[in-house]
Structure 1
């Protein structure tokens, strides 16, 4: 009985709960936007515009995240992380995936 209790305790600690898994990802928009700005010569205008886009996308996603299919959340999070973690990329991916899922067509001969 003691071994079973210890195994259950270890599993509870090592396996994230459904609520944790469903949380909106935490990216670093300031670092991301600085990288974007640096590729354009360090433009303050590019940095500020990027921060505005990231904030707008984050705000939109924050209220809708829990209602999105888990598969879409996971896929789009992976896409957004390939660019360094961008809420704007995440938002765009989710929009495209949602639109594609609602407009699936079959092949016609």
Structure 2
């Protein structure tokens, strides 16, 4: 085939598993929220105290995103005031090893 006869193919959109994973956990605060939930169920206020630099709006957004991705569950209790707790799902628990490996890599190279 000569150069003049070459017709470039359209780029193929192949979904990358790493990219999909980063979409789930790639938010600015997601790693810190996950880190806290690996230790057990937490309320919104607890998460806010444990991650002092996160604004209530950013924390709410992160929690909603992680819930939409199936990484955590939101449990609402009919108390006054309403009590809301966040717990990792099995899908969320599976992220623990990945984040542990990232921590080890950072300790070695960062």
Fold match (TM-score > 0.5): no
* TM-score (structure 1 length as normaliser): 0.26
Structure with the higher fraction of residues in strand conformation: 2
